Amino acid sequence: MSEVLYIVVPCYNEEEVLPETARKLGEKLDSLVGGGLVSPASRILFVNDGSCDGTWAIITKLHRQNPHFSGICLTRNRGHQNALMAGMMECRKRADIMISMDADLQDDIDAVDRMVEEYKKGHDIVYGVRSSRKTDTFFKRFTAEGFYKVMKALGVELVFNHADYRLLSRRALNDLAKYREVNLFLRGIIPQLGYDTAVVPYERKERFAGTSKYPLKKMLSFAFDGITSFSVKPMRLIINAGVLVFLVSIIMMVYTLNAKIGGRTVSGWTSLMGSIWMIGGIQLLCLGVIGEYIGKIYSESKHRPRYRIRENLEEDERTPEDE
């Protein structure tokens, strides 16, 4: 018996690309089913992320014409990551494997076959990784690659040049459900799931119609979310700065006292300089210490799972617990 595959596609105002996307994905699914790689119960699940155009109308029409197409509609726009999460959490009741991709098909859909093959070799998570960014503008490439480097420097585990084109097995989806955080940054969470992973390289194309739904402002807030959700290093910087300023204050003390003894100062300067540096340093240090505690509270409040169990010999199949 072959596995049920769900392809999850978040869509926000994508009426220009949807008909073509649906046609191509439909053909892809037919060929996968025809080749016996996946079960005929497989579906393409569109998630309408509160679009204000005809996106949902197109999705319902597709569903009426062909049961291979399915859809869910969010009550309002919640952003790409949340829409993707909604699709993934819905499909895990029926799917054995899930592949997520963007509605504009910038990611080569022929990589789907290779992803499913990797799954069959025993990989629970398969990352689609861009082999080149030739079609991206210089600006997009520069900012995107810079982002991966900054994240790495801050100690966040990320797969370089991997966006949200990936395959997850059902048990990986069930584990993902245990991450309760509201500020979702899936690229940071998925590597934390563990399991055997594989990488499938592909060439990224240009958007064939419509405009990017990720303007610079959304991109920046996405990057900021990623950093603040996974790293407490920015907060550590405060403590480091505090220690530094404190050390400088000691040097300043010695220097100003020396100047005073040498009679090279006006009266009041020594005490002023000394106290400004000293108090500045102490304040920064205290802020940093408070920051450490807030960081702990922050990570506790996310209620992330402490560990995940890969297999349990008592159970054959793990059932979704968090529905």
Q: Which of 13, 42, 106, 256 binds Mg ion (CB under 5 A)?
A: 106
Q: How far apart are CA 19 and CA 15, in angstroms?
A: 7
Q: Which of 71, 79, 87, 274 binds ligand UDP (CB under 6 A)?
A: 79
Q: Which is nearer to ligand UDP, 216 or 250 (CB)?
A: 216
Q: Could you give the string, one character per residue 83-102, with x where binding to ligand UDP holds by CB under 6 A and - elsewhere?
A: x------------------x
- What are all long-range contacts of 314-319, with beta carbons under 8 Å and residues at least 24 apart? 318/171, 318/174
CB atoms under 10 Å from CB of 227, counted, come to: 17
Q: Is 7 helix (H, G, I), strand (E, B) or coil?
A: strand
Q: Which is nearer to ligand UDP, 226 or 291 (CB)?
A: 226
The two structure tokens encoding residue 100: 């997520």
Least Å distance between CB 23 and ligand UDP?
Answer: 16
* 315 CB-near residues (< 8 Å, 6+ apart): none
Q: Which is nearer to ligand UDP, 165 or 277 (CB)?
A: 165
Q: Is 103 in the site for ligand UDP (CB under 6 A)?
A: yes
Cβ-contact 22, 101 below 8 angstroms = no
- Tokens 């098909």 belong to which residue? 105
Q: Which is nearer to ligand UDP, 96 or 102 (CB)?
A: 102
Q: Is 14 in the site for ligand UDP (CB under 6 A)?
A: yes
* 11 CB-near residues (< 8 Å, 6+ apart): 18, 46, 47, 48, 49, 51, 55, 59, 83, 103
Q: Is 49 in the site for ligand UDP (CB under 6 A)?
A: yes
Q: How far apart are CA 323 and CA 318, in angstroms?
A: 13
123 binding partner (options Mg ion, ligand UDP, none; Cβ < 5 to 8 Å by kind): none
Q: Parallel, antiparallel, or unpaired for β 162-169 and 125-132? A: antiparallel
Q: Is 3 helix (H, G, I), strand (E, B) or coil?
A: strand
The two structure tokens encoding residue 164: 């949200």
Run of H or E residues at 9:
strand 5-11
Q: At what angle do helices 216-230 and 186-193 cross, to 10 degrees?
A: 40
Q: Is 12 in the site for ligand UDP (CB under 6 A)?
A: yes
Q: Which is nearer to Mg ion, 10 or 242 (CB)?
A: 10
Q: Which is nearer to ligand UDP, 212 or 301 (CB)?
A: 212
Q: Which of 213, 242, 245, 273 binds ligand UDP (CB under 6 A)?
A: 213
Q: Is 80 in the site for ligand UDP (CB under 6 A)?
A: yes
> Restricting to residues 237-296, which ones interact with ligand UDP according to CB under 6 A?
none
Q: Which is nearer to ligand UDP, 17 or 285 (CB)?
A: 17
Q: Is 106 in the site for ligand UDP (CB under 6 A)?
A: yes
Least Å distance between CB 317 and ligand UDP?
Answer: 31
Q: Which of 16, 90, 96, 104 binds Mg ion (CB under 5 A)?
A: 104
Binding interface with ligand UDP (CB under 6 A): 10-12, 14, 49, 77, 79-80, 83, 102-104, 106, 212-214
